[in-house]
Every structure is written in C-alpha cells, then in structure tokens.
Structure 1
Amino acid sequence: MLNKFEASTLILRVVLGITFFIHGLTKFTGGIENIVGWFDSIGLPGFMAYIVALIEVVGGVALILGLGSRIVAALLTLLMIGATIKVKLAVGFLGNGQMAGYELDLALLAMSLFIAINGSKMFALDQLIIKGQKSDSQSKISLN
C-alpha cells in the first residue's frame, strides 16, 4: 500500500536534490573562481565557495539516492539560512530588479527543514543498508 506521506516526502527529497545538485554543478562549471571572488566581495572567506558548491553537489546526489537525507538536509538548511541572511534579506522577498529575492531560498529552506525533521525512507538507499544490517545481525543471532 502506498503511503501518501512517504510518497510526498520522496518527491520533495528528489526535487530538492536535483535543485541543489544543479546549483552546485553550475558553481563549478561556470567558474568557481568567480564565486570565490564574489564570496570575498561580500565579506565571506573565498574558500567557502568550494565548501558550499561541494555540499550542494554531493548533498544533491545524496538526497536523490536517499543517503543520509536528514543530515544532508540539515546542512542545506544551514546553507539557506546563511544565504538568506547574508545575501538576500537586504534585497527583499522578490528582489530589487538587479538580484532575485529570497523567495526561492525560503522555499528551499522549508523543503530542507522538512526533510531534516522527518527524513525520507521511500526508495532511499540508506533503508536498503539498514535492512541489510538487520538481516545480517538476525542471521548471526540465529546461528548462535
């Protein structure tokens, strides 16, 4: 029987994963040095651009696959809080005509927070790993 909650959470997890993966990949393929310079220009250490892009790429893939979803989503929640406060809050909800506002950041923050709180088990690789560990430990118990 299909669990509507888990199915809905799966949709959120995969869409969130794809979104962050593409954002991170764009940072690398579009010239990460430009992002490093931009981070420096807004008062953030430039090396943080690599960390953010890596979290987005690796975290996006992990979400799509369902590996460590709660931890990854918590990291993405922190990224979105930082991006909103440091960059987007000053330009407003819808932006200022030169830069987008924080409406997308807020939506991604809410999605990330939801996954961080609730997790996402449907079609998640960590569920296969957990099931495998349970069956291994049950086999060991029955052999003893």
Structure 2
Amino acid sequence: MIDTRTAPYAALLLRLSLGALLLAHGLLLKVFTFTVPGTVGYFESIGYPGYFAYLVILGEIGGGLALILGLWTRQIAVLLLPILIGATLQHAGNGWLFSAANGGWEFPAFWTAMLVVQALLGDGAYAWRPSFLSGLATSRVAEAR
C-alpha cells in the first residue's frame, strides 16, 4: 500500500535527485569539464552526428532545471528517456559495472528506470506549476461542460 502522506515527498526527492544529476552531467561534465567542442568530438568519435551532443547538453541542462523546479515533470521525464536509453546502449558493451573501462551500463540503466518511475509518480511536493497553465486547463474543462 502506498502511504499517501509521504509519497509526495518521495516524488520530490526523486525529482530533485534526477534534476541535480542531469544538471551536473550537462553543465559540469559536458560543458565545463569536456567542453562543448570536446563533447561534440566524443559523440562523433563513437559514430553519432555531432549535433546530438548539443541536443544531449540542452536536454540534460534544461531537463535537469525543469525537474528541480517541478515543471512538466512527467513530460520532461519521458522526453529525457531517449538520452538515457542511448547512454545505456552506448555503455552496454563495456560490462555491467560503471567502474569498468569506458563505463558499464548499470548507472544509465538505473537512471532510465528512475525516469520512468518519475513519469509515473508525477511532480510530488513543492513543484512549481505556472498559474497561467493551470488556469488555462481549468477554463478549457469548464468550456467543455
């Protein structure tokens, strides 16, 4: 049985953790550590088009911020799935543990599963929901009646 008193806080903790990890990977790792040109070069070296690096960086930074704030949580979690599925597939040949040479697939696979969990749970506590969006949805429901 789900404890409805604490479930919103569990979703909040998951949302903040996912958001912080995404932000760290996109901003700290890909932009500041590897640099954008370095990340583009890496993507090209493993057979992906260079522009994929920009999409991944944008997805990780933008998606991370959106999750931290609680903006469109379900949609953002689903939109981030291709990035993490791609990372899982890229690391699949390296073995299970992420400490393996070139990183294994355990971490991106777990991260993928947690995005699915977040999409199923929703925002959780303390999510920022723009009032104009909720007002728009309310007015359209009223119009439909």
Aligned equivalent of 1:90, options 71, 90, 93:
93
Aligned equivalent of 1:102, options 74, 84, 105:
105
Question: TM-score if structure 2 supplies the norm length?
Answer: 0.83
Identity %: 36
Against the structure 1 CA distance between its residues 68 and 53, is the aligned structure 2 distance closer, same or farther, given a 3 Å change threshold? Answer: same
| SS at structure 2 position matched to 1:125 | coil
Aligned equivalent of 1:54, options 54, 58, 64:
58
| SS at structure 1 position matched to 2:131 | helix
Against the structure 1 CA distance between its residues 131 and 38, is the aligned structure 2 distance closer, same or farther, given a 3 Å change threshold? Answer: closer
1:93 Cα deviation after fit: 1.0
Residue-pair matches, total: 136
User: Gaps spanning 5+ residues in structure 1: where?
Assistant: none
Q: CA RMSD in A?
A: 2.4
Distance 2:65 2:135 in 1: 23
Question: TM-score if structure 1 supplies the norm length?
Answer: 0.84
| SS at structure 2 position matched to 1:19 | helix
Instruction: Indicate whether 1:115 and 2:118 are aligned.
Output: yes
Runs (4+) off by over 6 Å: none
The match for 2:69 is 65
Larger Rg belongs to? 1
Instruction: Indicate whether 1:74 and 2:72 are aligned.
Output: no
